[in-house]
Amino acid sequence: MGKGRLENLNALITGGSRGIGLAIARRFAEEGANLFICGRNRESLEKCENELRQAGHKAVIHVADVSDPGSVQEMVEHVLKEFKTVDILVNNAGIQIVRSFLDYTLEEFDQVIKTNLYGVFLVTRSVLPGMIEGKKGKIVNIASTAGKWGSRNQSAYNASKHAVVGLTRCLGLEVAPFNITVNAICPGAVEGTDMMEPFLEQNSKYYGIPKENLLGVLLSQSPMRRLIRPAEVADLAVYLASDESAGMTCQSIALCTGYTMV
């Protein structure tokens, strides 16, 4: 077998048990990376571990909540015990709560910000000193097109993703002298993810139109008339995690069938 593009690199993927994170884990494994995957639910993690094992790969799994500083600290101790270094960090764990602005409770707003923004801050802060010491590292943040524009009924989510785009730019500048790149992927709506169902469900209530019609509206906004596939996000993540993207940092790349160009 040929040498993979991520051969023997140690990758930590947050929220790698399902959806986009799992697609990234599959592609990284195919490219030869050693995987460490976290999520809150052990069952989903074990399912993901089994799937990877059946495909001839292995992954270390760890139950962690990225919004909880203590839980992140334990996780990073575990990953460093297993791998000694983290070469690639994919900050993918994220949640969405669809609400009109006045319908958000403080707890809901807090939960979105703490997972999507503080999660990135906490995990990155714990992993970064090792990357700086080793003078190499790749950080890939999974933001969203919601980090580039406004959307109705998801102000907490868009605020968190705009913040991740801002953090990507600022951190990338600070760590560039250490040969560490920080980039974000901004996918549009991604098919087959658990996030899509509640998104359509809740929005159909707000818009007063059936869920099926809402999907049609979403598709009509796409120049390609389709959603993004998880594997497409994973392919871009491989590029951003590999040496091929050595000269690229601070970027937030929209992957959205062309419906935004910023």
Ligand X SMILES: NC(=O)c1ccc[n+]([C@@H]2O[C@H](COP(=O)([O-])OP(=O)(O)OC[C@H]3O[C@@H](n4cnc5c(N)ncnc54)[C@H](OP(=O)(O)O)[C@@H]3O)[C@@H](O)[C@H]2O)c1
| Residues taking part in catalysis | 157
Nearest CB to ligand X, comparing residues 192 and 246: 192
Among 6, 163, 165, 189, binds ligand X (CB under 6 A): 189
Nearest CB to ligand X, comparing residues 137 and 188: 188
- Confirm or reject binding of residue 65 to ligand X (CB under 6 A): yes
- Least separation in angstroms between CB 231 and ligand X: 12
What whole-number distance in Å separates Cα of residue 177 and Cα of residue 37? 28
Strands (E), 27-102: 34-39, 59-63, 88-91
What whole-number distance in Å separates Cα of residue 164 and Cα of residue 162? 5
Per-residue binding letters, 23-52, with ligand X (x by CB under 6 A): ---------------xxxx--x--------
- Confirm or reject binding of residue 14 to ligand X (CB under 6 A): yes
Q: Which of residues 199-228 bind ligand X (CB under 6 A)?
A: none
What whole-number distance in Å separates Cα of residue 216 and Cα of residue 30? 34
Closest CA to 189 of 225, 154, 228: 228
Nearest CB to ligand X, comparing residues 8 and 221: 221
Q: Which residues contact 27 (CB under 8 A, 6 or more apart)?
A: 231, 234, 235, 237, 238
Nearest CB to ligand X, comparing residues 74 and 136: 74
Q: Which of residues 115-144 bind ligand X (CB under 6 A)?
A: 115, 119, 142, 144
How many chain residues bind ligand X (CB under 6 A)?
31
Per CB under 6 A, the segment of 182-190, 205-213, 234-242, 243-251 that binds ligand X is 182-190
What whole-number distance in Å separates Cα of residue 164 and Cα of residue 152? 19
- Least separation in angstroms between CB 262 and ligand X: 15
Closest CA to 28 of 244, 234, 232: 234
Q: Which residues bind ligand X (CB under 6 A)?
A: 14-15, 17-21, 38-41, 44, 64-67, 92-95, 115, 119, 142, 144, 187, 189-190, 193-196
